[in-house]
Structure 1
Amino acid sequence: MSEKGICSVKGVKAYGFKDGKNGIAVISTPGRCVGTFTKNKVQAAPVVYSQNLLNEDPGIDNIIVNSGCANAFTGERGLKDARWMSKQMEGRNLVCSTGKIGSYLNRDWIQTAVEKAVRNIDTENGGIEAAKAIMTTDTEVKSIKIERDNYTVAGIAKGAGMIEPDMATMLAFIFTDIEIPQKEMENNFTKAVDNTFNMVVVDGDTSTNDTALLISTGKAEAEYTKNKKQVWKDIENVCKELAKKIAEDGEGSTKLIELSITNAKTEQEARKAAKTVLNSPLVKTAIYGEDPNFGRIVAALGRSKTNFHPEQIEIKINGKTVVKQGTINIDKEITEELKEKTIKIQINLNNGNAEIKGWGCDLTPEYIKINAEY
């Protein structure tokens, strides 16, 4: 993890800090932006505000993010607070919030915090400090960077609980200094999010505040047309690594689940199968308990409304076959695999050629404790 983080991207400056459960991050990033947002019918005020701002014009100057208060389900006052928050820096500014639903922003604290962050925005490790500031129940900073000879892609994210994005409580900010045409940003970023953040499950809850943004500053000298394929591969890889970090840091989790569905009839069916397995409390608790109860995976597949023939599916755990030809195989060697920190579940439906990958985590008593006390 680079100490400069997102500030490795030309044209990006950032800083942030925490004060107890509250945090503020400011990111100066003059450029063009596209975003994907929560599909929850209850949309937080900053989501409504930022969507409207981008619908008017993709050009932005700054992003202001607060943690500790979601500013969600706060009515007209919440919308006024989101507009007010955006005016704490000059220019056209997006706002994002994360934290407890139903509470109002503390304007006095935020005003003072933004002023302090702006004063320190030239700090060398400001990108990492910004990543720390947006954390809530996260236990690890989530920051990824890919540097090429003539451009850079970098991103930060937060998310550990209320995670099943349908665009997780999830915020992600991706930056690149290569100039990308707006239409291609809109089309390709949606695909990148669908294949990464939208394939993460921690607990099956979709947040009111989910936001993923891609910003192009256009400060690199690289020519987009010559680097197009690699640029989008890098953007999707940054999203994927951040998504994996969110799953790995799931509230109370002890194990990362990497799931692959292959040979499904359609991509949509592959997604349904993956989400159903990753969402299953019985699968998640079996992984936590290192219990070789692989019938739980089969049962989850069976209720996923995915087309397959039960006797034709094959399931592997960390490369070792546990289900084949309608039977379940359990031996000591396979049981030992469940002690690993990363559990790779490979499901071959043998009913087509579509495939998808997804990420999740186990379900532990600590998850209940964290959320009962939040």
Structure 2
Amino acid sequence: MRAPKGFLFSAAAAGIKYRERPDLGLILSEAPATWAGVFTRNDFKAAPVLLGLKRREEVPRVRAILVNSGCANACTGPEGLRDAETLLEDLAGRLGIPPQEILPASTGVIGTRLPVERIREAFPALVAGLSPEKAHLVARAMMTTDTFPKVVSRSFEVGGRSFTLLGMAKGAGMIAPHLATMLAFLLTDAGLPSAVLTPTLREAVEASFNRITVDGDTSTNDTVYLLANGQAGELPSGSWDSFREVLSGVCRELAALIVRDAEGASKLVKIVVRGARSSEEAERLARAVADSPLVKTAFFGEDPNWGRILVAMGKLGLGLIPERVSIKLNGVPLVEGGCGLPEEPARKEMARPEFTLEIQLGLGEASFEILTCDLSYDYVKINAEYRT
């Protein structure tokens, strides 16, 4: 895994929720970086999200990201904001940078305050441990119910110069972005203006993190940060499209890793709706199928219960024409003209760890696709025991 130039990483165990496991991560850019951020649309925004939104309006360049797991610092009122600001001020003093140049991110249990003193006690080790070789440790420190760290690195060349983009993400449950209990940090040593980073990030997020769903719930803490420190040189304006492609690819890979690691999941399912009258209609139908508990439990049971798919779409009352609807599973016909076909060939495809469900509406030319997963016994167990 190649890290971009000029970025340092560190992780430490602060004992926020669990003992003797890293739960505090720090990313430091050796030079001020232009940046962009995308945040949750949930009305109950966590303290770090509120601070990130404020920085997005006021701070053109940043130097660091501080992330913790185990405590979301959400729904904690003015005290939660003060806790976050106190920690950022303390860390800024140790790093020798202004506190507003540190971007905060938190994930974990909602409604509990950060253990400020415990986190402060971990700062000396966190700062002393900064290294260009520890990105994977930060990715591990931000995990909650994740089973593996999610890191993707890509290098690209422009005009004989090599640039790197590194992405890391966490997320396994409460995933239905716009965004989801999902954090993602994207770092590049290419130099780009914020005016380019902001629309580029939004476009990449819309085509990746906003096209996954695990359980239909959107978190209070969803955050995606993109930092560009220019340590490998400025990227010429004629190459910005190349950067967009690399960024979109990294985001799609990270999004797929999140769904693969969904809480208790055993299947990664791509749902594709074609033949809709508009892209909005295609999206509504795809999400209805992807979020249906009945459909998702059928995925888990490897049961080609096509009736549940039709019900999930039909309940929206969009005026679908049953005689025009067809469904295929990995290319195997399951429904034709609104009626079921022999199920055994499709059942065999559902035994695979990954498969595609394609729905043809026969009404227009618009389409939409989304990644989802099955809903298992383990998902219920993990979330029933999450706070205990």
Give the structure-2-normalised TM-score: 0.91
Separation in 2, partners of 1:74, 1:128: 30
CA contact (8 A) 1:270 1:355 kept: yes
- Alpha-carbon contact 2:267-2:374 (below 8 Å) kept: yes
Say whether 1:98 aligns with 2:107.
yes
**Paired residue for 2:130?**
121
1:12 maps to what in 2? 7
Equivalent residues in 2 for 1:143-292 (5 A)? 143-149=151-157, 150-221=162-233, 223-292=235-304
Deviation at 1:106, TM superposition (A): 0.9
Amino acid at match of 2:172: A
- Alignment CA distance shift 1:226-1:307 (3 Å): farther
Aligned-CA RMSD value: 1.6
- The CA deviation at 1:337 is 0.6
Matched, 1:312 2:321: no
> Unaligned regions of 5+ residues in structure 1, if any?
none
For residue 339 of structure 2, the aligned residue among 327, 337, 342 is: 327
The structure 1 residue matched to 2:48, chosen from 29, 46, 51, is 46
Runs of 4+ residues over 6 Å off in structure 1 = none
Contact map agreement 2:165 2:189 (CA 8 A) in 1? yes
Distance 1:323-1:47 versus aligned 2 partners, 3 A rule: same
How far is the alpha carbon of 1:109 from its aligned partner?
1.6
Q: Which residue of 2 aligns with 1:298?
A: 310
**CA distance 1:24–1:306, change in 2 (3 Å):** farther
User: Match for 1:130: what amino acid?
Assistant: V
Residue-by-residue CA offset, 1:334-358 (whole Å, 9 max, x unaligned): 2111100012111222322222221
* Residue 116 (structure 2) aligned to one of 107, 111, 129: 107
* Deviation string, structure 1 residues 243-297 (Cα, Å, up to 9, x no partner): 1111111111111111222232222222211211110000100000011101111
CA contact (8 A) 2:192 2:234 kept: no
User: Structure 1 residue 151: deviation in Å?
Assistant: 1.4
Which range moved further: 218-227 or 293-302? 218-227
Equivalent AA in structure 1 for residue 105 of structure 2: C
Aligned-pair distance for 1:101? Answer: 0.6
Residues 178 and 220, structure 1, Cα contact 8 Å, conserved in 2: yes
Structure 1 position 58, deviation (Å): 2.7
Query: Per-residue displacement from partner, 1:150-202 (whole Å, max 9, x unpaired)?
Result: 21222000000111111421101112222223222212211211111111111
* Cα 1:39–1:301 shift into 2, 3 Å: same
- Percent of pairs with identical residues: 38
Mapped contact 2:278–2:365 kept (Cα < 8 A):
yes
Whole-angstrom CA distance in 1 between matches of 2:56 and 2:261: 30
* TM-score, length basis structure 1: 0.94
**Displacement, 1:123?**
5.4
Contact kept? 2:72, 2:112, Cα under 8 Å: yes
Measure, in 2, the Cα distance between the counterparts of 1:239 and 1:248: 14
Change in CA separation of 1:320 and 1:351 when aligned onto 2, cut-off 3 Å: same
* 1:111-157 Cα shifts (integer Å, max 9, x gaps): 12232121111152x00000000000000111111111321222000
